[in-house]
Chain A
Amino acid sequence: SQQGEEDPQALSIQEGENATMNCSYKTSINNLQWYRQNSGRGLVHLILIRSNEREKHSGRLRVTLDTSKKSSSLLITASRAADTASYFCASGRGNTPLVFGKGTRLSVIA
Chain B
Amino acid sequence: DVKVTQSSRYLVKRTGEKVFLECVQDMDHENMFWYRQDPGLGLRLIYFSYDVKMKEKGDIPEGYSVSREKKERFSLILESASTNQTSMYLCASSRMGQGHSYEQYFGPGTRLTVT
Q: Which residues of A pack against B, CB within 8 Å?
A: 1, 3, 30-31, 33, 35, 40-45, 48, 50, 88, 90, 92-98, 100-103
A31 contacts B101, CB within 8 Å? yes
* CB-based nearest A residue for B6: A42
Q: With the chains together, A43 CA to B98 CA distance in Å?
A: 24
Q: Report, as a range, how many residues of chain B touch the other chain.
A: 20 to 34
A100 contacts B42, CB within 8 Å? yes
Within 8 A of A (CB), among B71-115: 88, 90, 92, 96-101, 103-109, 111
B106 contacts A31, CB within 8 Å? no
B111 contacts A40, CB within 8 Å? yes
| A41 CB contact (under 8 Å) in B58, B104, B109 | B109
Q: How many residue pairs, one in A and one in B, have C-beta atoms under 8 Å apart?
A: 72
B4 contacts A3, CB within 8 Å? no
| Contact partners of A44 in chain B: CB under 8 A | 106
A97 contacts B33, CB within 8 Å? yes
| Contact partners of A95 in chain B: CB under 8 A | 31, 50, 96-101
Given contacts A35-B104, A90-B104, A92-B101, 6 further A-B contacts (CB under 8 A): A30-B101, A31-B100, A33-B101, A42-B109, A96-B101, A100-B42
| Contact partners of B31 in chain A: CB under 8 A | 95
| Contact partners of B4 in chain A: CB under 8 A | 42
| Contact partners of B62 in chain A: CB under 8 A | none
| B48 CB contact (under 8 Å) in A40, A43, A45, A97 | A97
B40 contacts A48, CB within 8 Å? no
B103 contacts A33, CB within 8 Å? yes
A1 in contact with B45 given A31-B101, A42-B4, A94-B101 (CB within 8 Å): yes
A98 in contact with B101 given A3-B42, A40-B111, A43-B90 (CB within 8 Å): yes
A30 contacts B42, CB within 8 Å? no
Q: With the chains together, A94 CA to B94 CA distance in Å?
A: 13
| Contact partners of A43 in chain B: CB under 8 A | 43, 90, 92, 104, 106
| Contact partners of B103 in chain A: CB under 8 A | 33, 45, 48
> Measured between C-beta atoms, what is the minimum distance from A41 to chain B in Å?
6
Closest 3 CB pairs of A and B: A92-B101, A42-B106, A102-B42
